[in-house]
Structures are given as C-alpha cells and as structure tokens.
Amino acid sequence: MEKPDNNHHSNGHKKANGDEKHRRKFKLSRRWIWILIIAAVAVLIGGLIYAANRPKPPELITDTVVKGRLTQTVEATGELESIDQVDLSFDISGTVSQILVAVGDQVQAGQELARLRTTELQADVERALQGVQAAQAVVNERLAGSTGEAVNVARASVAASEARLAATKVDWQNRKDDLANTIVATASAVNEAEVALKTAADNLVNQQAKNQQTIKELEEDLESVLKDNMIGGRSALSDADEVLGIDNTIANNDFENVLSALNHEVLVSAQSAYGRAKGSRDRAEAKVFNLNSESVAGDLDEAVYFTRVALTDTESTLLYTRQVLDATTAGTDTFSEADLSALKASINLARNDIQNAQTSLQSQLQLIDSTEISNQSTESSAANALSSARQSLTSAIAGKSSQVASAESAVRAAEAQIQVSETDLLQAEANLQQVLAGPRAVDLAGLQADVRRARADLDAAEARLNKAKIISPISGKVTDLKFKVGEQVSMAEPMAVVQSVGDNFRIKSDISESDIAKISLLDPVKVTFDAFGNDLSAAGTVEAIDPAQKLIEGVVYYEVDVRLVESVEIIGLKPGMSADLEILTADLPEVLNVPQRAVLERSDGIKYVRVPGGDLFVEREVKTGLRGDGGKVEIKEGLSEGEEVIITIREQN
C-alpha cells in the first residue's frame, strides 16, 4: 500500500485558506470604498446647502466727495409797495357817510377823499350862523333905536338860545346813551379775553400732560430695548464661549488643541475681553432688570450707560473671538474646515446682532431727544399763546377804562354845554329886556361882545365840520380803504392810504424764525413777479430786518425789507404786485461737500461719516460747515476730494 502524501494535503489546505482571506479582504475594501463615496456625497450636499443659506453681505450705497460751489438761499414771498405813502384819518370820530374814491384811483393834492355824517355838525354851523345874525341884528337894532323890529330880533335871539339849549340837552342824552353802549361793549370784550385766556391756559396744561405721556411711553420702549439688548448680549457671549470654552469648558473639546494655534496672544486677549464683557453684562443686567414704575430718570440713565458698556465689551469679545478662529487650524478628525467655517459664521452673526442692538439703542435715544426738542417747541408755542392771551386781556381792560373814561368825559362836556346854553338863554333874555328898555353905551358894548362870541362859535362849528372830511395832501394813487360807508371810525384811526407814483419800491416779506438767522443786511436778492413770470427778474438787497417778532397762525416770523437796486421803470412795476424772493445768504465757490445723509452724529455731538473698509466700513470723524441747497453740506476736515462715503447700508436677503 502506497503511503499518503501529507505534504501535498497540507499545501492544498493552506492555499484554500489564503483564497478565503483574500476574498474577505476584497469585500472589506469594497465596503470602505462605498462608505467613503457616501461620506463625500454627504459633505458635498451639506456644502451646497450651507452655500445656498449663507447670508449675503450688505449692499453699500455710496457717493463721492466733490469740490465745487456750495450756496445757501432762503426763499420767501412778499408784496411790492411804494416807499412814499401817507396814512390819512379823520380828526373826529363818527359814521362814514361818503367815500368819493376807490382803491386804484389817481388823486390830486387837495382832493376830498371821504367824509363823515355831518347832520349835527351842519346843524351846529347853522345855529352858530343864526347866532351871529341874531347878535348882529340886536346891535343894529339898538344902534337904530328901540323899534318894534329890534324887539322882535331880541325875542328871536331868545328863541335861538332856547333852541340851542334844547339841542344841547339832546346831545347830552345821546352822550349818555353812548356811555351805556360803551360800558356794555367793553365788558363783552373783556369777558371774551378772559375766556380766551382760560382756553390758552388749559391748552398749555394739556400740552404739557400730553408731552409727559409721550416721553413716558418712549422711556418704556427704551426699557424694552435695553432688556432685549441684554438678552442678545448674553446670547452673543454664549456664542463666544462656545469657542473659548471658559464657562462652558466642554464646548471646545474637539478643537481646543488647535484653538488659536497660529497666534496664542489673540486667545489671551479674547479670554480677557470675555471676562470684562461678562462683568459689564452682569452689571448692566442688574441695572436694566431692576427698572420698575418707581425708577427715577437717573436709574434709566445708568441702565443706558451700563448697557452701552456691556454691548461695547461684548462686541470687542466677539471681534477677538473671530481673530482667535482666524488663528485656528482645522483638518483634524474631530475638527474640519466646515466646523471652523460654521463657528466663524456663528460669531459673525453674533457680531451683527450686537451691532444691530447698538444701533437700535442709539435710534431709541435719538428718538427721545428729538421728541423732547419737539415737546419744548409745542410747549413754547402754547406758552406764547398764553402770554398773548394775557396781553389781550390787559389790552381789553385798558381799552375798557379808556373808552368808558372818554364816554364819561363826553357826558360831562355835554352837561357843561347845557350850562353854557342856559347862560346864553339868560343873556338873550336880558338883552331883550335891554332892547325894551332902550340902548345904553354899556349895553352896546355887551351886545358887540355877543356878536364876537357868536362869530367865534361859528368859526368853531365850521372847523368841526371841516374835520369830518379827509383831504389828500399829495398826488398819487389810493392803495387802501380801511372802512366802508356806514361804519364807525374813531378819531386818528387810519381810513385811507395814498402812495405816490414812481419807481422807488421796496418789498416787505415775513421770514420764519428757522430762516431769519441765515439772513444779513445787504444780502443779494433775486426778485421775480407773478405778473411777469420767471423770465423777468430784478435785483435787490436786504435793507432792514425788524427785530420784533410777529405771530402768524402760531408761528414766529420776522419782517424783512428788500429794496430794489436797479431801475424798474422799463418793466412797469406797480404797488401791490406779488413778488417771489430768492435771498442768497452764503456762496462758497470751491469747497468739499457731500450729501447731508452721509453725515451722522454721535450722542456726544461728534459728527462722522462711514467710508468703505475693514469688514464693511470704518468711521471717520469730520468737521462740517455750511449746510447748503440741494441737501449738500460742507466738509472742512476729515475727507479728501474723490473719496467714497456711505449713504445707506442695505441688507440683502
């Protein structure tokens, strides 16, 4: 029997085992290949999703710093008037009975323009004339001897004196009626002024209450903003701690060994900034969350101050944290580039949130400041209205005293005239007795004195009658009539205005208080007229600025006189024409300027602009000058010609 070959059997067994191991190794390799392929696809899909959802950077709207001419003008309207004019009035009070001219009529010097109702004055003249005639007749009669006719004249004189006495009694009764009417009218005026004063006082109190409520609501909104900022600040520090691992010690375990590997000093700065931010956050939260209805203004100011410090420290911490990530390496099994990018995006988002919180806080503070300024303006207007109402009441009371005193004086004068008329009657009766008794030298002297007194009375009556007329002292054009037929006019109260015709013109214009400070004497003015359109203009200068204020619908204005400085005969200007004024208050030929919207102002009053640079922009302090037309402002320091400044930052979705 042949012996079995054990070596051959052993070799075959080894070969079979090797083939089995090779197959298992091949299957394991294919499995890893598929795993790697799936992982690569997952990473690719994740990257695409991140790229699609990553926020786009903000869009910067900019403008260029230019050098050129910058002007400042004030526009206003006014009315053309002749410089030579006279205001005409009656020398006595009364009722207008005739107006002999109309506005726009040409009049000559010495021409009668208007007259008062003169029934009583003419009657006085007639009575005075009769008195003269009667007195002279008595003298003549006495000179001619005591005849029947002389007796009749003397008796007529008595009758005239009786008529005068009756007329003076009627006048006395009329004066008493005028006094009663004056008392009623002035009492009504005082009552109306008292009602207006109470209304103005109530309006001031209501405005103050409304303003206080508005500020209270804005401060409540400010408290909400502060609390939101504290929540956002705590969240931002938490994001920073996810990187630094100071309080959350396990947050950065996967990458602690590579954190800030390229610059360890940045990590030290970030950790130090984190500690400061955490402390300022805790102090701010203590101030903010302790605010309540019993807090005073100082508590809210402290909360704002500590919140600003906390936000600034938090923003600094996030900046250092981002620098730490910039100095961090990736690519390990536990910390990939994608992980590093995600942390950077988180820190960038937190920084943006902090900056938005700072902007929101600043906007709310600016809103409170602007509202307080507006409140001061409305309260000032209400206070001015109250002051005006007090002045009106004072004037009404003074007017009442003056008018009542004048009416009482007229009653006393009428009473005195009655006594005079009674005396005249007694004298006329005595004269009659003398005529009947025959003339004497002493009697003739008295009668002649009566004639002179009667002539004086006639002259006085005729003078009073002439005072009821308005006579133009100059030749010109009637530009205004203040009263109509049938209206009452007081002595010396303007009735008509006459302007001389020529080319010596000026324009009066009311300028608001917001613009009056810009205007100076001799400022050049471009003048156009509605009657001729904008194609025809004249040059003028500011001649006078009235320092006294005037209220027009509650707004303070100041009156400015503009005088035309070139001949205007060729364009046919006439008094009363409407004029449009363009007053050149400043003209800088070559200055740097930017749009006003580009210049911002901090709470401390420092002005700055934003120029592209850094992560997005950098702030540049500037010194501004003239605020010109077209929304432009002069830049004195801080910028150069051709630089770009940011007008608006627009977030992109």
Domain boundaries in the chain?
Answer: 1-54, 60-84+501-653, 87-114+471-499, 119-208+392-469, 220-386
- Band (550; pLDDT cuts 50, 70, 90): confident
Query: Are the C-beta atoms of residues 294 and 348 closer than 8 Å to each other?
Result: no
The pLDDT of residue 3 is 46
Backbone angles phi, psi at 318, to 5 degrees: -65, -35
Residues 6 or more apart from 313 whose CB is under 8 A from it? 273, 276, 277, 280, 281
d(CA 354, CA 588): 42
**Tokens encoding 166:** 């009756």
What one-letter code names the amino acid at 487? E
Please write the tens of the pLDDT for every residue from 242-277: 999 999 999 899 899 999 999 999 999 999 999 999
pLDDT higher than threshold 60 for residue 5? no
**Tokens encoding 570:** 């060729």
The pLDDT of residue 32 is 73
How far lies 602's CA from each of 49, 81, 508, in Å?
41, 48, 41
**Which helix (H) or strand (E) segment is 352 a member of?**
helix 337-437
Backbone angles phi, psi at 283, to 5 degrees: -65, -40
The pLDDT of residue 503 is 54
The number of CA neighbours under 13 Å toward the Cβ of 293 is 0
Which residue has tokens 């003074």?
398
d(CA 597, CA 264): 42
* Nearest alpha-carbon partner for 538 in 585, 589, 491, 573: 573
Positive or negative torsion for Cα 403, 408, 413, 415: positive
Please write the tens of the pLDDT for every residue from 190-204: 999 999 999 999 999
Query: Are the C-beta atoms of residues 73 and 585 closer than 8 Å to each other?
Result: yes
* Nearest alpha-carbon partner for 374 in 201, 221, 606, 218: 218
What DSSP character marks residue 575?
Answer: T
**Which helix (H) or strand (E) segment is 617 a member of?**
strand 616-621
Tell how many helices (H) and how many strands (E) occur in the chain: 8, 21
Please write the tens of the pLDDT for every residue from 582-600: 899 999 989 999 999 989 9
- Band (286; pLDDT cuts 50, 70, 90): very high
| Residue with the larger pLDDT of the pair 220 and 535 | 220
What one-letter code names the amino acid at 354? I
Query: Are the C-beta atoms of residues 514 and 74 closer than 8 Å to each other?
Result: no
The pLDDT of residue 501 is 56
Please write the tens of the pLDDT for every residue from 489-526: 988 788 888 776 555 678 889 999 988 988 998 899 98
Mean of per-residue pLDDT scores for the chain: 85
Please write the tens of the pLDDT for every residue from 85-136: 677 888 888 899 889 888 888 888 678 888 888 888 888 888 888 888 888 8
pLDDT higher than threshold 50 for residue 8? no
**Tokens encoding 149:** 């006719």
Phi-psi region of 84 (alpha: psi -120 to 50; beta: other; left: phi over 0): beta
The pLDDT of residue 1 is 43
pLDDT higher than threshold 60 for residue 570? no
Mean pLDDT of all residues in 27-37:
72
The pLDDT of residue 100 is 87
- Band (554; pLDDT cuts 50, 70, 90): confident
pLDDT higher than threshold 80 for residue 404? yes
The pLDDT of residue 27 is 59
- Is pTM beyond 0.85? Reply is no
Burial-class residue 273 by CB neighbours within 10 Å (0-12, 13-18, 19+): buried
Mean pLDDT of all residues in 290-314:
92
- Band (9; pLDDT cuts 50, 70, 90): very low
Please write the tens of the pLDDT for every residue from 137-174: 777 766 666 567 767 887 888 899 989 989 999 999 99
Query: Are the C-beta atoms of residues 640 and 65 closer than 8 Å to each other?
Result: yes
30: helix, strand or coil: helix
pLDDT higher than threshold 80 for residue 278? yes
Q: What is the CA radius of gyration of the chain?
A: 50
In the CATH scheme, what is the code of domain 87-114+471-499? 2.40.50.100
CATH superfamily membership of 60-84+501-653: Efflux pump adaptor protein, beta barrel domain (2.40.30.170)
Residues 6 or more apart from 221 whose CB is under 8 A from it? 364
**Tokens encoding 552:** 């027009």
Mean pLDDT of all residues in 473-483:
79
